[in-house]
Chains A and B, each alone.
Chain A
């Protein structure tokens, strides 16, 4: 085993591969090491082992770094270069095909997205119009220009706008139903009665041609009863 004092100097000498026995000019440190090696057998053995390890390492590195080049390498590379040269124009056509395909996909999906946005906007409109519908009170049953002979009769076909809005209204109603609102039991009962009255009402027509003979009675909703809050003082800190 080498002496601890000369350990690093031994390793450095082995790594640099410097000949310590020769007459070459040495630094003071190396001269000291050479003098020590002359009298320390253990350090001489350690240096020999270290040099052996580095020689093995270099040998292994050389084996890896100077491996025989397979004769198939250059022909393979030349073939791939030829292939790349001929494939170059194909790249542009591939990009063109990709662009066409992506445009087609976009054309397919854009109308769907547009329709969805449109539907959302319509449903929002219908929702916002809903509370105002009962407010419309039929004044007089005047025949419209589009239906002069149809006085007092229900229209056979609903208008296109009404037909379009009908499913959307249902959809919006289902959307409105989905979130749950936490209310107290008495308020919930009141809301239920309000909803019952609301659903029993006949939907008022939007157009004068759709006037119904039956006269609608105004909706009566009892005021919501809210109990007075019972404020109690906080418990003292000591009780916790």
Chain B
């Protein structure tokens, strides 16, 4: 009994310390959540093109990030870490959804020759959007992520380099290659340029 009396305050103090550490981690995570939550959603939305799915993926990504927050040595790299988690989860979900869906039927439809439209009109057309989605899916992952981040408002090249963890020159070259490949794929289907 005497031993119990001696040990009890030690264990209580230890559990209080653990509780305090958990509360601190939660507070720190909450601060980052407001800033990075939308980013996780947008990355997932860029991959999935579906708001409901992207919300689910962003939630899962943030939950995983929270569970692994203690193991993240450099908390300044949280942004890039979260982006990668969200991107991976979105890709996984897209792959599993692709198994269920038969999108080939969409491609089987012939592309109609239309008069030239403005950029906004073209982007607004569902057919073009479907082609763009498909072309994006065919891009290599590292190119796709950089292209998505570059399309986000207020995301500079330096931020992308820091997020992805590659040099600035690599980011620029990846964006160039990604845009060129995407344009090639879209050109094949839209038949925009006819060579002499």
Interface residues of A, Cβ cutoff 8 Å to B: 1-4, 7, 11-12, 14-16, 42, 46, 49-50, 52-67, 69-70, 72-74, 76-78, 80-81, 84-85
Task: Determine whether the beta carbon of A85 is less than 8 Å from that of B22.
Answer: yes
Task: Determine whether the beta carbon of B152 is less than 8 Å from that of A66.
Answer: yes
Given the known inter-chain contacts A55-B119, A60-B128, A77-B33, please indicate yes or no for A67 contacting B51, CB distance below 8 A. Answer: yes
Bitwise, B4-40 to A at CB < 8 A (1) or not (0) is: 0000000000000000001000100110011001100
Chain A contacts for B116, CB-based, 8 A: 49, 52
Task: Determine whether the beta carbon of A1 is less than 8 Å from that of B195.
Answer: yes
Bitwise, B62-78 to A at CB < 8 A (1) or not (0) is: 11001100000000000
Separation in Å of the A79 CB from the closest CB of chain B? Answer: 9
Task: Determine whether the beta carbon of A54 is less than 8 Å from that of B183.
Answer: yes
Which residues in chain B, 63-101, are within 8 Å of chain A measured between CB atoms?
63, 66-67
Task: Determine whether the beta carbon of B42 is less than 8 Å from that of A61.
Answer: no
Task: Determine whether the beta carbon of A80 is less than 8 Å from that of B123.
Answer: no
Using a Cβ–Cβ cut-off of 8 Å, how many residues does chain B contribute to the interface with A? Answer: 51
Task: Determine whether the beta carbon of A65 is less than 8 Å from that of B63.
Answer: no
Given the known inter-chain contacts A3-B196, A52-B122, A53-B192, please indicate yes or no for A61 contacting B33, CB distance below 8 A. Answer: no
Separation in Å of the B153 CB from the closest CB of chain A? Answer: 5
Task: Determine whether the beta carbon of B42 is less than 8 Å from that of A69.
Answer: yes
Count: A-B pairs, CB below 8 Å: 133
- Rounded to whole angstroms, the CA-CA distance of A69 and B116 in the bound complex is 33
List, sorted by A's number, 17 A–B pairs whose CB atoms are closer than 8 Å: A50-B193, A52-B116, A52-B118, A53-B183, A55-B119, A60-B129, A61-B136, A61-B151, A62-B151, A64-B46, A64-B151, A65-B46, A66-B152, A67-B42, A67-B54, A69-B37, A80-B63
Chain A contacts for B119, CB-based, 8 A: 52, 55-56, 59
Given the known inter-chain contacts A67-B51, A69-B38, please indicate yes or no for A15 contacting B151, CB distance below 8 A. Answer: no
Known: A57-B123, A65-B42, A73-B41; 11 extra A-B contacts, CB below 8 A, are A1-B193, A11-B183, A49-B116, A49-B193, A50-B183, A53-B183, A57-B182, A59-B123, A62-B151, A76-B55, A77-B37
- Rounded to whole angstroms, the CA-CA distance of A78 and B29 in the bound complex is 10
Given the known inter-chain contacts A49-B193, A70-B51, please indicate yes or no for A77 contacting B183, CB distance below 8 A. Answer: no
Bitwise, B178-196 to A at CB < 8 A (1) or not (0) is: 0110110011001011111
- Rounded to whole angstroms, the CA-CA distance of A74 and B40 in the bound complex is 11
- Rounded to whole angstroms, the CA-CA distance of A99 and B154 in the bound complex is 51
Can you name the residue of chain B whose Cβ is closest to the Cβ of A53?
B192
Within the complex, which residue of A42, A57, A78 is in contact with B179, where a contact is CB–CB below 8 Å?
Answer: A57
Within the complex, which residue of B66, B120, B153, B194 is in contact with A66, where a contact is CB–CB below 8 Å?
Answer: B153
Given the known inter-chain contacts A46-B193, A49-B192, please indicate yes or no for A58 contacting B151, CB distance below 8 A. Answer: yes
Separation in Å of the B112 CB from the closest CB of chain A? Answer: 16
